[in-house]
């Protein structure tokens, strides 16, 4: 199902467009929004595959929204809708799937939906191929050979050397690999990483795995606990769980 949003300030136009789009069973209209500001807020918090975007709307113009979305990693495909043709060049410069002039004919909309469907399916197929490829790369045998892990970077997977990773952290069910100045989202959970990482990595806290070789200092904390100061650019401080204090003492020859 292709998740779709309509941004159009005229209710009758929104209703008609939704009815026509959902005649195709591959599309589902999740949001119908009347102003650009609200649309942008929803787009920042939700994954939308296809955006029908009127150009002249209150709050933020359609062109403004598209310019911002173009800079993001997972932007939706855009079909502009407008009563004017003066923005066509700018729309296609922003990689729009299509540009529909109002009043929109049923045939023109059908052509546009088919074009969007083809673009979205191509992208999905390519991403699936990448995921399958790097799932194989990250199998246990190959990890030993590669000494790398796949992380997400824009529209491709980047292979990070284990030695370049300072620590892993989890936030909102996503796990991030932190290097000297930059962080990357991974496709793993911390418990999976514990099994695949080499010995210099240690689960120091329920939310962190650290590279012991990149610890800069150990700071005594309250009630006999520690914080470790990492060597990364921001010198991030990570708490040591009470249950891991004895192990850290041994691993780092503290006591």
| pLDDT tens profile 181-238 | 999 999 899 999 998 899 899 999 999 999 999 999 999 987 778 999 999 999 999 9
Q: Does 138 have pLDDT greater than 60?
A: no
pLDDT at 17: 95
Residues 211 and 161 sit within 8 Å (Cβ to Cβ):
no
Judge if 126 and 154 occupy the same domain.
no
Predicted local distance difference test score (pLDDT) of residue 240? 93
pLDDT tens for each residue of 89-127: 666 677 788 889 888 999 999 999 999 998 888 765 544
Last residue of a domain, one of 131, 150, 182: 131
Same-domain pairing of 88 and 185 = no
Written as six digits, the tokens of 118 are 């083809």
Q: Does 172 lie in the same domain as 116?
A: no
Given a cut of 90, is residue 154 above it in pLDDT? no
The pLDDT, as a whole number, for residue 204 is: 94
What pairing do the DSSP bridges indicate for beta strands 208-211 and 201-205? antiparallel
Q: What share of the chain has pLDDT > 90, as a percent?
A: 55
Whether residue 129 is predicted with pLDDT greater than 60 in this model: the reply is no
Q: Does the N-terminal peptide bond of residue 221 adopt cis geometry, omega within 30 degrees of 0?
A: no
- Average pLDDT over every residue of 28-56: 94
Cβ-contact 161, 145 below 8 angstroms:
no
Token pair of 73, please? 């990693």
Comparing CA positions, the residue from 49, 80, 50, 48 lying closest to residue 64 is: 80
Who contacts 135 (Cβ-Cβ below 8 Å, separation ≥6)?
Answer: none
Same domain, 116 and 187: no
State the residue range of the domain holding 106.
2-131
Considering the domain architecture, whether residues 71 and 108 belong to the same structural domain is answered as yes
Same domain? 125 vs 44:
yes
Structural domain tally of the chain? Answer: 2
Residues with Cβ within 8 Å of residue 214, at least 6 apart in sequence:
166, 167, 230, 231, 232
The answer on 41 and 19 residing in a single domain is yes
Q: What is the pLDDT of residue 126?
A: 42
CATH label of the domain that carries residue 169: 2.40.50.1020
Angle between helix 106-137 and helix 11-21 axes, rounded to 10 deg: 60
Same domain, 145 and 211: yes
**Strands, E assignment, the chain:** 2-7, 27-33, 50-54, 77-82, 98-101, 148-153, 156-161, 167-171, 174-178, 183-185, 201-205, 208-211, 215-220, 226-230, 237-239
Position 133 confidence tier, pLDDT thresholds 50, 70, 90: very low
Residue 134 has pLDDT above 60, yes or no: no
């Amino acid at each position: 199902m292709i998740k779709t949003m309509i941004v159009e300030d005229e209710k009758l136009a929104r209703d008609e467009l939704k009815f026509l789009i959902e005649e195709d069973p591959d599309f589902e209209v999740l949001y119908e929004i009347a102003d650009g500001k609200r649309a942008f807020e929803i787009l920042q918090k939700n994954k939308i595959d296809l955006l029908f975007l009127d150009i002249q709307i209150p709050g933020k113009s359609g062109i403004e929204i598209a310019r911002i979305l173009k800079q993001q990693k997972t932007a939706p495909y855009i079909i502009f809708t407008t009563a004017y043709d003066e923005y066509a060049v700018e729309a296609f410069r922003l990689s729009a799937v299509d540009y529909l002039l109002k009043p929109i004919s049923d045939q023109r909309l059908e052509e546009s939906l088919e074009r969007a469907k083809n673009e979205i399916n191509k992208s999905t197929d390519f991403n699936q191929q990448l995921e399958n490829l790097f799932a194989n790369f990250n199998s246990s045998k190959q990890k030993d050979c590669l000494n790398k892990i796949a992380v997400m970077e824009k529209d491709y997977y980047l292979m990070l050397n284990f030695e370049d990773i300072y620590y892993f952290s989890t936030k909102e069910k996503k796990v991030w690999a932190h290097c000297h100045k930059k962080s990357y989202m991974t496709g793993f959970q911390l418990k999976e990483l514990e099994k695949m990482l080499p010995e210099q990595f240690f689960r120091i806290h329920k939310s962190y795995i650290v590279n012991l070789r990149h610890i800069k200092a150990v700071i005594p904390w309250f009630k006999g606990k520690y914080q470790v100061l990492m060597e990364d650019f921001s010198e991030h401080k990570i708490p040591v769980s009470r249950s891991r204090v004895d192990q850290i003492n041994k691993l780092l020859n503290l006591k």
